[in-house]
Amino acid sequence: MPATIGMPDDFGLDAKLAGLADQYDEVSRQLATPEVLGDPGQLRRLGRELARLEPVVAAYRELVEVRSQLVGARQLRDGEADEELRALAREEIAELEGREARLLADLKVALLPRDPNDDRNVIVEIRAGAGGEEAALFATELLRMYTRYAQEHRFATDLMSLNETGIGGTKEAILEVAGDGAYSRLKFEGGVHRVQRVPTTESAGRIHTSTATVIVMPEADEVEVEIDEEKDLRIEVKRSSGPGGQSVNTTDSAVRITHLPSGLVVEIQDEKSQHKNKAKALSVLRSRLYDLELAKQREAQSAERKSMVGGGERSEKIRTYNFPDNRVTDHRIGLTIHNVPGVLEGQLDPLIDALVMADQADRLRALTDGDA
């Protein structure tokens, strides 16, 4: 491993990076041992750890090399009698100092405390808000938007529950998005989404404003949220039904679960089996309970630091989709994109990338202020 490089000790950067490089080398060593190669679970865990460390350690070692080159270039600049060589050295120093600054900035972001939920699967709930049938149609478009986004990023999706209106609108939908980093990409989508357009049913051509609420929750494991089924739950089974009350199954397969201590209610219906519906309902219930606990933690932390990106509170109006102006505006960071059709087709990365960067910048400022 290269020696530490004597950099300014921003946030203890030197020591942290050296420690991560040591950790990377140790994980690499363990991955080559027969014990780990014969244990699929250990192999997966250490493989994920190596993948997490690799870009940080690679950037650190590049920084070591850049600073080594800087030492040589400065010696050439200060000690060479030939003016032409000194000029070349000055050009090299300027280029190397730029690379050094970029690497340091990237490494500071990489060393920010990670959200422990970032790698989890995510459950997205979409509910029609103000605006009647137009709000329900907008909720359908949001469901399609997140499904298309997930597909583009090779995340798996499972439509766990869908409560539709008679003309294709969505009263409520629950979508599971599964894949590494799913929560990290979607966690800022929670809040009130607003649409401004002329509904197809509007004969006078007036612009209407409707809303839908998006709730984003990291999927919880059974061991993280303990539920005593006998004491805590009331489980009801009924016949599944489709739009307009049509039966979609001749058996009693729909499951409604009430969590008595919190009052939370989850209802899931599926064409296939009561067992599958119960498992899905329990998964959603665990995630809602886990999200409630996270909300309590965020509320406690907000007294110390309030993120410019926001905490995804249900009451926040986070984004407006304005059809007449072909404008999507995220109100938390003041970003406007003129491409409503593209965004609703799942082209969310420009918005999500900007939100992630804003959150990183805000956390860096908070860290700097805390060290001041």
> Could you read off the pLDDT of 323-335 as tens digits, one per residue?
999 999 999 999 9
* Cα pseudo-dihedral 257, 260, 263, 265, rounded to 10: 0
Asked which of 71, 88, 110 is the last residue of a domain, the reply is: 110
Backbone angles phi, psi at 300, to 5 degrees: -65, -40
CA atoms of 34 and 266, how far apart (whole Å): 46
Phi, psi (deg, nearest 5) at residue 299:
-65, -40
| Pair (239, 164) in one structural domain | yes
Do 173 and 29 lie in one domain? The reply is no
DSSP string covering 125-192:
EEEE-SSHHHHHHHHHHHHHHHHHHHHHTT-EEEEEEEEE-TTS-EEEEEEEEESTTHHHHHGGG-EE
Burial of residue 73 (number of CB atoms within 10 Å: 0-12, 13-18, 19+): buried
Give the pair of three-digit tokens for residue 120.
């989890």
Q: Read off the pTM.
A: 0.67
211 and 352 part of one domain: yes
> What is the model's pLDDT at position 40?
85
Q: What is the dihedral of CA 59, 60, 64, 66, to 10 degrees?
A: 30
In this structure, the answer to whether residues 224 and 302 fall within a common structural domain is: yes
> Which CATH number characterizes residue 305's domain?
3.30.70.1660
HSE (side-chain half, CA atoms, 13 Å) at 121: 18
Average pLDDT, the chain: 83
Phi, psi of 332, rounded to the nearest 5 degrees: -70, -35
In the chain, the percentage of residues whose pLDDT exceeds 90 is 43
pLDDT at 372: 44
Q: What is the pLDDT of residue 304?
A: 37
CA–CA separation, 275 vs 257, rounded Å?
Answer: 13
3-state DSSP assignment of residue 334: coil
Using 50, 70 and 90 to split pLDDT, how confident is the model at 245? very low
The reply to whether 324 and 249 lie within a common domain is yes
Strand order, beta sheet including 156-164 = 156-164, 170-178, 122-128, 208-218, 191-197, 317-322, 327-330, 335-337
Whether 128 and 172 have beta carbons less than 8 Å apart is answered as yes
Q: What's the pLDDT tens digit per position in 254-305?
A: 888 888 888 888 888 865 688 888 888 888 888 888 888 877 766 654 543 3
Q: What is the mean pLDDT of residues 21-43?
A: 91
pLDDT of residue 120: 86
Q: Which of 110, 132, 160 lies at the terminal end of a domain, its last residue? A: 110
Do the domain assignments include residue 61?
yes
Residue 286 domain flag: yes
Query: What is the Cα Rg of the chain in Å?
Result: 26
* Residues contacting 83, CB < 8 A, separation 6+: none
Residue 367 tokens, joined = 């860290």
Does residue 62 have a pLDDT over 90?
A: yes
Domain co-membership, 20 together with 169: no
Q: What number of residues does the chain have?
A: 372
Range of the domain at 99: 10-110
For the stretch 336-365, pLDDT in tens is: 999 999 999 999 999 999 999 898 888 877
**Which tens digit of pLDDT belongs to each residue from 312-321?**
444 568 999 9
* Average pLDDT of span 69-82: 86
Please tell me the total count of domains within the chain.
2
Least confidently predicted of 3-17, 28-42, 62-76, 174-188: 3-17
In a domain? residue 371: no
Q: At a CB cut-off of 8 Å and minimum separation 6, what does 99 contact?
A: 62, 66
> Are residue 26 and residue 174 in the same domain, yes or no?
no
Which 3 state secondary structure label does DSSP give 118?
Answer: coil
The DSSP symbol for 69 reads: H
Mean pLDDT value of segment 80-100 = 89
More confident residue, 4 or 83: 83
Measure the CA–CA gap between 225 and 173, rounded to whole angstroms.
23
Which pairs with CB-CB distance under 8 Å and at least 24 residues apart come from 354-357?
Answer: 354/330, 355/188, 355/309, 355/330, 356/184, 356/188
- My answer on whether 242 and 355 are in the same domain is yes
Residue-level pLDDT at 369:
58
Strand pairing report for 317-322 and 327-330: antiparallel
Lowest mean pLDDT among 18-27, 132-141, 267-276: 267-276
**CA dist., res. 344 & res. 322, Å (int):** 12
Asked whether residue 368 is assigned to any structural domain, the reply reads no
Q: Where are the alpha helices (DSSP H) in the chain?
A: 13-31, 34-37, 40-79, 83-110, 132-152, 182-186, 229-232, 274-302, 340-344, 349-371
